[in-house]
Structure 1
Amino acid sequence: MAADTAAAPAIPIIDLGPYLAGEPGALEATAAQLRHVNETIGFMTIVNHGVPAALVEEAFAACARFHAQPLEAKLAVKANAQLQGYVPLRGSTTRHSKINPDNKPNENEAFFMKRDGEDAGAPDRWPADLPGFREVALRYYDAMDALAQRLLPLYAVALDMPPGHFGPFCDRPLSGLRFTHYPPAEYGANQFGIAPHSDSSFITLLAQNKVPGLQLRTTAGEWIDMPVIPDSFVVNTGEVLHRWSNGRFINTPHRAYNVSAGPRYAIPYFFHPNPDTLIEALPTCRVPGEAPRFEPMTVGDYMAWFRNQNYDHVRKQDAA
């Protein structure tokens, strides 16, 4: 699954330090960088983001601990219809995306978490015999939510809106954290760790992985490797922001795999607005005389459609 490296563009690196420190002009300057990234490639690496490296390492270790359990223990917290809990190996098939036809089930297993009121996930969807796991996962979840919230003014200004525009739509976010295990595999035709797709999110925050395996597709149609930058996060635009910006911010397709000799883990955080938020084209993104590119849809409705498309246990339940 080699990348097309001949004319691969550099993935932009954005330093959040000046913005997070409140330096004069940093909001506007950083938003201008972000605007260019999201209108041209849709992926970036952020550094000086304020998330402790030790917490990221704890989250990766918790992910590995969960997946090291016997299958029976993991199936005891099998995912519900809201996608909270464990999805077994090959328990998902990427169907919402038309980038690659006839995808086979994804070669990964994952544990999904959501925050719901004072808890994250359904009460019975936490592993019973992993002391400290829930606490680490929640601390990481909170750190990711805090980072996403700090990024919202940048996205608003980048889209020519007031800095506080997105805040009221994201104060009860329908976000999710996923602890994913990609076992070593030999991939056949239409087979991937996770098949080519664009994310459902507003944005996705992905801690850099020491084991490479993430590739993105450029606007020229070439697949390139995402470089590993220590102590950084990969950030990409999801479908919700793509729709909200009337297609102005691109939701770049990407895929993942593991051709190493050992396990590969990923801990992506998918940041979504409030479930009742209506996603319709921002006024600054509409083209005079043209209808918006997408029909308005609430975040909750979009996510229900997304789950039904890709996760086999949800499809079976809805078909029953």
Structure 2
Amino acid sequence: MDPLDWRPSLGETLVAVSAHGPNYPFMRLDLALSRLGRPSIAEELASPVSMSATTVRSEASHSITLTNGKTFTFNSNDSSTDEAIPVIDVSRMYSDNADDRQAVAEEIREAAHSIGFFCIINHRVNMQLAENVITEAKSFFALPTEKKMEVCTELMPDEYCGYHPMQHYNPNSWKQRDLYEAYNWNYNAANDPDEPDSSIAEINLWPENLPQFKETLCAYQSEMISFARKLTRTFALALHLPEKSFDDMVKRPEAGVRIVHYPRQEASRDDQNGIGAHTDVEYFTIITADTEGLEVLSKSGRWIKVKPIPGSFVVNIADCFMRQTNDFFVSTVHRVINESGRERYSVPFFWGLNRQTVLDPIPTCVSEECPNKYPIMTAGEYYLWRTRRQKTSWVTGEGTKQS
């Protein structure tokens, strides 16, 4: 049984709904499937697999099992700039000429299929908003630990929002825990730049006594939501679909953002990561950072150092998009090791579908020769499953092994 066959039980789904109230954007999968004439959850589901993250290390190679159930191997723990991720000028996304928009979509198609990571320039996002977020991040992370723990993510076990403490996780079972701390905040429909809706309850944990913090972070989030919707249309073209094919799927999206602080790393990369090797959960991620440290695993099993380009974003495909494209787009393993000699701050924006969206395979990605590889579930159930797995198995000593 593929580990990805697991989905929350009906009871767990009802708990999720009752915990957040009737406005929580989550839909029971059994009802969705019955409307589509598909088997119910009870008819399809098997028992969940272990949530362990396993690392096997040897002189020749390293193998790690991720929280998405897949295992990957890399040949060396070293990284280099011998390879690079593509750099794409996305200014043609805004062109009135359909051929121009399709041309940039074809570049994105190739990058998303071949490596799952690319850098975008000329995107028209106001980067001052990103710089403002990093300024607020420095203020937040400078707070005493006890103040940051007042909004600790453990207060919301089924959500990723709130504060993630320094050296709390160790997903790859390295000798030392990952050297970072983070703060996440979720999408708030009331602040949606295109279709605001204050009737949907906000699910967030905001710190007190930082007067500009929430306003600054939400301003950047709103800017990124508008841009991500534009980029989603380009992805539709990249999959040879009508440009607006995904519009209804991102009306109430996952649009969480994270600020991350990586101190200067003194330990060897063989003993510690900034953040361990992983894949992202949702549709795609858009990242800005103030210094190098991001590393991407190539198909050859080697780590690529990503060199920051001022004013650019790094975009990567996430697991939910890989599933829906039947693995045509690849969600690539990546990590952070901060050997820059200074503090590193990054701001990843996680873009995903409405939680009630049923993850049917994209028609251009399945055929008789390449049938659908994954069971059908809603985006919300997939997010819930992954959140629980990561918040459990990433904690140091929780079912991890090293040899």
> Shared topology, TM-score over 0.5?
yes
CA contact (8 A) 2:317 2:329 kept: yes
**Displacement of 1:201 after TM fit?**
1.8
Which residue number in structure 2 is paired with residue 256 of structure 1? 336
Mapping for residues 126-205 of structure 1, pairs under 5 Å: 126-185=206-265, 186-187=267-268, 189=270, 191-205=272-286
Which residue number in structure 1 is paired with residue 165 of structure 2? 88
Residue segments in structure 1 that go unaligned for 5+ positions in a row: 95-99, 316-320
- CA separation of 1:103 and 1:253: change in aligned 2, threshold 3 A: farther
CA contact (8 A) 1:215 1:256 kept: yes
Mapping for residues 205-220 of structure 1, pairs under 5 Å: 205-207=286-288, 209-220=289-300
**Displacement of 1:135 after TM fit?**
0.4
Structure 2 CA distance for aligned equivalents of residues 314 and 262 of structure 1: 25
Structure 2 CA distance for aligned equivalents of residues 116 and 210 of structure 1: 26
**Displacement of 1:269 after TM fit?**
0.4
**Displacement of 1:73 after TM fit?**
1.1
Residue segments in structure 2 that go unaligned for 5+ positions in a row: 1-76, 193-200, 396-403
Residue from 242, 245, 269 that aligns with 2:349: 269
- CA separation of 1:220 and 1:170: change in aligned 2, threshold 3 A: same
Amino acid at match of 2:235: Y
CA contact (8 A) 2:87 2:119 kept: yes
**Displacement of 1:31 after TM fit?**
0.8
**Displacement of 1:284 after TM fit?**
0.8
CA contact (8 A) 1:103 1:195 kept: no
Which residue number in structure 2 is paired with residue 29 of structure 1? 103
CA contact (8 A) 1:92 1:310 kept: no
Amino acid at match of 2:351: F
Which residue number in structure 2 is paired with residue 49 of structure 1? 123
**Displacement of 1:9 after TM fit?**
3.0
**Displacement of 1:106 after TM fit?**
2.4
Residue from 364, 373, 381 that aligns with 1:284: 364
Mapping for residues 55-66 of structure 1, pairs under 5 Å: 55-66=129-140
Which residue number in structure 1 is paired with residue 179 of structure 2? 107
**Displacement of 1:124 after TM fit?**
6.8
Structure 1 CA distance for aligned equivalents of residues 306 and 394 of structure 2: 31
CA RMSD of aligned residues (A): 2.2
Which residue number in structure 1 is paired with residue 313 of structure 2? 233
Structure 1 CA distance for aligned equivalents of residues 202 and 142 of structure 2: 22
Amino acid at match of 1:37: A
Does residue 117 of the first structure (1) align with residue 189 of the second (2)? Answer: yes
Amino acid at match of 1:271: W
Structure 1 CA distance for aligned equivalents of residues 277 and 356 of structure 2: 28
Aligned partner of residue 206 in structure 1, secondary structure: strand
Structure 2 CA distance for aligned equivalents of residues 290 and 47 of structure 1: 34
Structure 1 CA distance for aligned equivalents of residues 191 and 149 of structure 2: 21
- CA separation of 1:231 and 1:188: change in aligned 2, threshold 3 A: closer
**Displacement of 1:164 after TM fit?**
0.7
Amino acid at match of 2:127: A
CA contact (8 A) 2:86 2:117 kept: yes
Q: Percent identity?
A: 30
Residues paired across the two proteins, number: 307
Which deviations, in whole Å up to 9, do the C-alpha atoms of 1:50-97 show, x marking residues without a partner? 111211111111111110111111011111221221111133343xxx
Which deviations, in whole Å up to 9, do the C-alpha atoms of 1:199-218 show, x marking residues without a partner? 112010001x2321001011
Structure 1 CA distance for aligned equivalents of residues 334 and 176 of structure 2: 16
TM-score by length of 1: 0.89
Amino acid at match of 2:178: N
**Higher alpha-carbon deviation: 285-294 or 161-170:** 285-294
Which deviations, in whole Å up to 9, do the C-alpha atoms of 1:115-139 show, x marking residues without a partner? 2332699577111111111000000
**Displacement of 1:15 after TM fit?**
1.1
